[in-house]
Amino acid sequence: MNTFGRNFRVTTFGESHGVALGAVIDGCPAGLEISTEEIQAELNRRKPGQSAMATPRIEKDQVEILSGIFEGKTIGTPIACIVRNQNQASKDYDFLKEVFRPGHADEGWFYKYEHRDHRGGGRSSGRETLARVIGGTFAKKILAENNATQIIAHVSSLAGVDSCDISHADFDTAEIEKNPVRCGDKKAAEKMIEAVIDAKRKSESVGGEITICIKNCAKYLGTPVFGKIEGELARGIMSCGAVRSFEYGIGSKAKHQVGSMQNKRKEGISGGLTTGDDIIITVSVKPTPSISQKQKANTPNGEISDFVIGGRHDPTIPPRLVPVLESMVAMTLADFLLESPDRMNQVFR
């Protein structure tokens, strides 16, 4: 399954060490003003090599628009965008022909498909998420045109360091982009950076949590029963390989509430439909599975092997995952926004 959405459809393609990766966006209304620079700005937030918090692999991730846009506006036809790989270093992954990395998709993909691209994980690589960011850029524009909807995410916990000096209803977006861990709490960000660098020295990696705030969301997005908006948001977010849990509103703390307390809460979703109130989502993210320690691994012939993962890897995933999760939220909301002709006509009056 390589396509997300029904009305606003994003198909991603390409492998980590292939010629290129990209996205085809179908269902985007005509007349949406968008530039290459806007797409590039979002991709730059995700690209590798930004700091010591990310893989040293240097990729410009330069986007090329192949179709669907003329004179700076969408024309209602499929939009195709690609990013060419330029710094693969595929030889670093030759050893993976005969071993399955712990914590990766290698083994499952090998036995399900009996053939796989072992170079950096191929299609299962986190590099695939750049295509989601491309689709998310268009979705964010649609939402902004319709209801001035904003989707703002930041790293609220990393390596055991929690942020505390920020209201999730009032993100300081400038502060988030000022530090390499993308935390809205400046003091916490400094501690997070120290913790990541310390883990990196020990050949370890660390996980964390991302908090997402949806502001000015259009009302009544979602459908009853099997199309509840919280379920669809969870589906999009949980499709990102490193994500381990999804909560919205009070989340798991609801088990400690009584009905009279819970009923007073405004969590932005009721009966599976958006209410227009702020929606707060929290997402936990696992540590990067690629670490330069000696580990035990399975092999295609059933043996157990001692090995060390080579290549260039992120010591932590959440900072680069922030724009990806924003994109998945945007694509989910845009998909529901465009579910009827009336909704679509309201976008570009």
Res 78: pLDDT: 98
Res 290: pLDDT: 83
Q: What are phi and psi of 27, to 5 degrees?
A: 95, 0
Q: What Å distances lie between residue 340 and 233, 269, 294, 322, CA to CA?
A: 19, 20, 54, 30
Write the pLDDT tens digit of every residue in 121-140: 778 888 999 999 999 999 99
In terms of pTM, does the model score above 0.85?
A: yes
Angle between helices 36-46 and 129-147 (to 10 degrees): 130
For the chain, residues with pLDDT lower than 70 are 49, 56-58, 87-93, 165-171, 310-311, 341-349
Res 296: pLDDT: 85
Res 93: pLDDT: 66
Are the C-beta atoms of residues 237 and 243 closer than 8 Å to each other? Answer: yes
Both tokens of 139, joined, read: 């979705």
Res 264: pLDDT: 85
For the chain, domains (ranges, CATH) are: 3-347 (3.60.150.10)
Res 196: pLDDT: 95
Question: Over the range 137-167, which residues count as b (16 or more CB within 10 Å of their CB) and which as e?
Answer: bbbbbbbebbbebbbbbbbbbbbebebeebe
